[in-house]
Amino acid sequence: MCRHSSTQRFIRIVRILLGGLAAGVVAMGASASHAQTYPAHPIKWIVPFAAGGGGDTTARLTGREMEKLLGQPLVIDNKPGAATVIGVQALLQAPNDGYTIFSGNDSLATNLYLMDKVPYKLDDVIGISVLSKSPLALVSRPDYPATDLAGALQHIKDNSGKLAYGTWGIGSASHLAMESLLGRIGATMVHVPFGGSAPALLAMVGGQMDIMFMDVGTAAQHVKAGKLKIWAVSTRERNPAFPQTPALAEGALPGFDMYSWNGILARKGTPPQVVSALSNAAQTVWSKPDFRKDQLERGNIPWGSTPQELDDLLKENARAAKQLIEQRNIRLN
């Protein structure tokens, strides 16, 4: 009786082990099958910006090239509003199978410190690739009373609190860059936030604002037309669109390096092999000489990063945003 009972227990244990092994083999097979067949149908690309803007254009141009490599359409789904939060929520409500991806930028990190309540955490998303960074140009109305960058900054200091600068929204890259500059030179200005880059540009070109940070690509045509003056760019290095224009970091504000960026992200838990497939496709697109040349002409600095580089960038954005937003007492709500 005892021997029979021991034999039955042994048989049950063997069956359990074999069952677990079989389940593992099935799971591995399913995972391998997913990797081999991905993507098997179109991929939705959530863009949290209005159609026609810089971020939307970057996504559409990148997606058009990526789908040639992936063999499936990348369908743009514009969900603007609430400083990209509406788009993030749409991503987090979708399955984490790699068939819904998201256009992110630095606002993912800055929102955490601008808003009282944010319906996501940074670790809810994972990086796929930083596509490009978008430097900012410090521009003014044509009759701004200065002849060089030093004079332009001195004019702000001499008229602290009297001049006005426009941005495309509270907490935007244009806003944070100007607040960082003002903090460095010890001055204040009247902030006039607009509901987007288009109305801010109209006010700047119309002479209603004194000075502002604007993305290089948008500024270029208006500087060339004589409607704006350019004084500097916001990154450590000069920009190819304005090779004669100094970077703020060159001497006026050492170490100054602020820019917006465009990248692709997915929901946490997306299979690693899917993230790898998407990232490899994005990096391939952004390594093409013709594509890079086109983006440089648009004012974007090509990147095409690894997933880890995007994850690291978000963490650095969060650290820097927290410090600046607290120092300058900036709030969105």
pLDDT digits (tens, 9 = 90+) for 261-310: 999 999 999 999 999 999 999 999 999 999 999 999 888 999 999 999 99
What confidence tier does 12 reach under pLDDT thresholds 50, 70, 90?
A: low
CA distance linking residue 320 with residue 211, whole number of Å: 24
CA distance linking residue 142 with residue 155, whole number of Å: 14
pLDDT digits (tens, 9 = 90+) for 183-229: 999 999 999 998 777 888 899 999 999 999 998 988 998 999 999 99
The domain segmentation of the chain, as residue ranges, is 43-133+260-328, 135-250
What's the pLDDT at 276? 98
What confidence tier does 27 reach under pLDDT thresholds 50, 70, 90?
A: very low
State yes or no: pLDDT of 19 exceeds 70.
no
Residue keyed to tokens 């607009």: 194
Residues sharing a CB contact under 8 Å with residue 323, sequence separation 6 or more, in sequence order:
none
- Percent of residues in the chain assigned helix, strand, coil, to nearest 5: 50, 20, 30
> Which CATH code fits 43-133+260-328?
3.40.190.150
What's the pLDDT at 9? 52
Residue keyed to tokens 């992200």: 265
The dihedral built from the CA positions of residue 98, 100, 106 and 110, taken in this order, carries a sign that is: negative
Q: What architecture does CATH give domain 135-250?
A: 3-Layer(aba) Sandwich (3.40)
Pairing of strands 164-167, 190-193: parallel
Per CATH, 43-133+260-328 and 135-250 having the same topology is answered yes
What's the pLDDT at 218? 85
pLDDT digits (tens, 9 = 90+) for 314-333: 999 999 999 999 999 998 75
Residue 77 has φ and ψ, to the nearest 5°, of -125, 100
